[in-house]
Structure 1
C-alpha cells in the first residue's frame, strides 16, 4: 500500500524517520510531499495513494476526488476540521485523528501564555500570580486534563465543565465540576477554552458569557478561533477595561484587538502542538493507525462514522 505524507509544514526529521520505520516496517511504501506550494502538487501526489497523513493541510472534496485509491486519511493531531469528513464518508474514506498526542504540548503553552499575561506581558510593571486563582477549563478532554494537572502545581483552584464528560469523571481527577458554561465563567478568574469548532460551539464564546468572568478576568484560547464571537468580545473589552484576552489562534479582527494594549496577545502562528515531542508522537501514532487499518481493518480512532 502507498502511504502519502502530505505536509505543507513538514514534520521534524525524528518524526519522519519514525513514520518511515513504521510504514516500511509493515511492508508499505512511504511517499513524502513536503513544503508544497501549489494545490496541484497535492492533487498529483494523492492520485495513487492508498492512505494519507496530514497535519493542518486541507483535505477538500477536490483532493478526495483526485484520490481514486484513497482508503484512509489520518490527521496527525486532535482537531480535524481541515478534513471534509462528510464528503470523505460519501467516498468511503475513513478519517481518523490522533487524540492525546499533542495534549501536554498545548497544556504547557496555556501556562506559558498565562504567566506572560498575569505579569503584564513583561512590561516592567507589577503583575499578579496564578497561585490561588480560580481556573475554569471548558471541555475536559486530553488537553483539559493536562491543563488541570499543571494548574494544581501552581496551586490554583480548578473548575471544569464538559457537556460530554460525566461530573463524576471530572471530580475523580480532583477538579470541581460545574453544571454549565455560565457557571464556569461566573466562578472563575480565568477560563481556558478547549472546545472543538462545531455548529454548536462556533461563536458561542460571546459577550454574555465572557462578561461573567471575575474582575481582572482572563480568557485564554488554544482551541479554535471560530468559537469566539469576535465582534461581541471586542465590544465587551472596550466596556470592561479589566479583561484580558490571550490566544494561540490569531483572530480575524487581530488589528482591532491590538488597540487593547496590555490586555491582548496573540501568537503570530498557532503554536499549541509545535514541540519536537508532540510532532514526533502524533506522526508516529498516525503511521501506526494506518498500519493497523491495513492489517486488520482497525478504525478505533475514526471520526467520520
Structure 2
C-alpha cells in the first residue's frame, strides 16, 4: 500500500484534510500526518517510508530527500515552490509538483485589500484617494495576475501587463493592455502588482532604477517573494520620494527601517498570508492529493516543476 505523508508545520483546515483523506484513502493508499512539528528531525523520521508527500511552506531539503528512500513524488500545495530543493529531487528521481492557480484569487483579493487600506490612509479619518481611473501594471500575467486584472477592472482601473511568456492576444482577450518592456510597465502605471517568481534572474531585480520610473503617487504591491525586491534600493527611493508607498505580505529584512522612516506609507502582513483563506486552503490541498493519485495511477506529470 502506498503511503502519502501530509507534512505541514501550518496544518490544513479540517475540512481540507477530510477531503484529502477521502481522495487518498479512496485510491487505496494510506494517509499519514505530521502537523505542527517543531524540529527538522521529526520530518526526517516521518519521511522514511513515505511514497508521496504533500507540503505547504515546509522546507524539502537535500537532507529530507535523502532520508525519504521510498519517495516518488512531493507536491507543494500552492503556486510557489522555492521551498523544494529541485536539484535534490531530480537527483533522487523524485517528481516535484506545485498546484498552480488554486490560491490565485485569494492572493489577488489580498493585494487589493492592502491597496485600498493604504490609499485610504489606513482608515485614519483623513482624505485619501480612489482606485477608479488609475493605471495598474501587472508584472507577470499568470494565474494571480489574471485575477488581479479582473478585480482591477471591477474597480474601474486601466490594466496593463508585462509578461514575455504570455501572448499579447491572451492579454488583450482579457481586456488587458500588453506592454513591450518592464520599464514601460513601471513608467506607465501608478500601481504595480508583482507576481514574478524568485529566480537567479529576478532576485533583487525590482531596484531603484525600475521603481524610480513610476509616476507620482506610486504604490508597489508585493504578494510574490521578498527576494525579488532590492530592499536597500527601495528604502533609498522611499527616502527620496515622499509620494511612494509599498505594501507586501512578506516582511522585508529591514522592516525596522520602514517603521522608523516611513510610517503610514507601508504595510506588511505579520506573515505570508496570500493563500490563507479557507477556500484556498481547501483547493490547494485537494489538488495536491488528486495530482498524487493521477501520478501513480496514470503517470500524469502535468504540474511537474523539476526536470
TM-score, normalised via structure 2 length: 0.99
- Name the residue aligned to 2:247: 246
Post-superposition Cα deviations, 1:180-221, rounded to whole Å, max 9, x if no partner, equal 110000000100000000111100000110111110100010
Gaps of 5+ in 2: none
Counterpart check, 1:181 vs 2:182: yes
Post-superposition Cα deviations, 1:230-266, rounded to whole Å, max 9, x if no partner, equal 0011011001111001111000111111220111111
Cα distance in 2 between the residues matched to 1:13 and 1:210:
42
Counterpart check, 1:45 vs 2:46: yes
Cα distance in 2 between the residues matched to 1:112 and 1:198:
27
Shift of 1:160: 0.3
- Name the residue aligned to 1:266: 268
Cα distance in 2 between the residues matched to 1:168 and 1:139:
15
- Name the residue aligned to 1:156: 157
- Name the residue aligned to 1:90: 91
- Name the residue aligned to 2:277: 275
Cα distance in 2 between the residues matched to 1:232 and 1:113:
22
When the two chains are superposed, the root-mean-square deviation of aligned CA atoms in Å is: 0.6
Shift of 1:297: 1.1
- Name the residue aligned to 1:220: 221
- Name the residue aligned to 2:296: 294
Gaps of 5+ in 1: none
Cα distance in 1 between the residues matched to 2:167 and 2:257:
39
Shift of 1:283: 0.2
Give the secondary structure class of the aligned counterpart of 2:118.
helix
- Name the residue aligned to 1:117: 118
TM-score, normalised via structure 1 length: 0.99
Cα distance in 2 between the residues matched to 1:202 and 1:65:
28
Number of residues of Structure 1 aligned to a counterpart in Structure 2: 305
Divergent runs of 4+, >3 A:
none
Give the secondary structure class of the aligned counterpart of 2:89.
helix
Cα distance in 1 between the residues matched to 2:6 and 2:215:
46
Cα distance in 1 between the residues matched to 2:140 and 2:120:
26
